[in-house]
Amino acid sequence: MTRSQMLQALLHELGALRAELLSRHTFVQVGGPADWFVVVRDRDALIDIVRAAHFAGTPLSVLGAGSNVLIRDGGLRGVVLRNETRACRRIGEATFEVDSGARFAALARSTARTGLTGLEWAAGIPGAIGGGLPTNAGAYGSELSDVLVSISTVAPNGDVAELSADELGLSYRYSKFRGGGLQGHIITALTFKLRPGDVYAALAEIDRVEALRKINAPTGPSLGSMFKNPAHESRSAGQLIDQAGLKGTRMGAAQVSDLHANYILNVDVGNARATDFLELIAHVQDRVEERFGVRLEPEIAVIGEDAADDE
């Protein structure tokens, strides 16, 4: 059996789908087809798929919850893996290891219930922990690097490695996964060290964070927080977009939110295309730069190929 045949057999065993539209698996409900789409629910299967794709020379992309990502209309080649690994293992008084597919909000609440504090801020983040690490996800003045001890990965050559938090180059919305030598590494698990604390106070803080999100974050399909807050600028990205008069600006199905200007919504799901969002993103960047001399940098990942009729 060839390496390609071994990969095909593993995909078949895991119930992979051919030509699956990725718009069904992203928060913004946009994205072209995957050659192969497979869901994995345990770490061993995740590692097996990564290695099999590597040895077969087949491209592989990983989605967590599908938040903060824009997939182009031509979709993704090779294998797209949806990471639904969610096991959590306590390995010390305040230390635990969690699979990379675990969701921020669920993890924040479950750790608070056990008397561990330090992740309350994450209760308002909709995505998966592993998907948030490359941008050092954070909110309300806290971020993953505050509590991260180490991670486990599968390297592009199929080797399993453990890396300490200090090796990841974590800073505001950046890590070495985004341009510092760890591109292509697939995160399989993360180890955190929290603090013992009061259960009821932690749960009350989670309730407060979730209430703030409901007030400030638009509902419905969106790209989430679109742009990084610029360095050396007192105003946030949302404030700059608002002051540039861009709230409500629409291109195709993509529209700058009237509630929070740093969110771009999908207001016509049935007809939405990634090109609508790319055009609106560029328009917002140009207008803000013209007005304030600041070029906003996207916080989201843009991946995939253009559709044939866009080339």
Positions marked active-site: 173, 225, 299
CA angle 193, 197, 201 (to 5 degrees): 125
In which element (H, E) is residue 210 found? Answer: helix 199-216
Cα distances (angstroms) measured from residue 260 to each of 83, 197, 310, 311: 29, 33, 30, 33
CA angle 143, 144, 149 (to 5 degrees): 140
For 121-131, b/e burial (b = at least 16 CB within 10 A) is bbbbbbbbbbb
CA angle 135, 271, 216 (to 5 degrees): 45
Q: 284 near 300, Cβ under 8 Å?
A: no
Q: What SS3 class is residue 194?
A: coil
Residue type at 218 in one-letter notation: P
Cα gap 249→280, rounded to integer Å? 8
Q: 190 near 133, Cβ under 8 Å?
A: yes
The residue to which tokens 């989605």 are assigned = 63
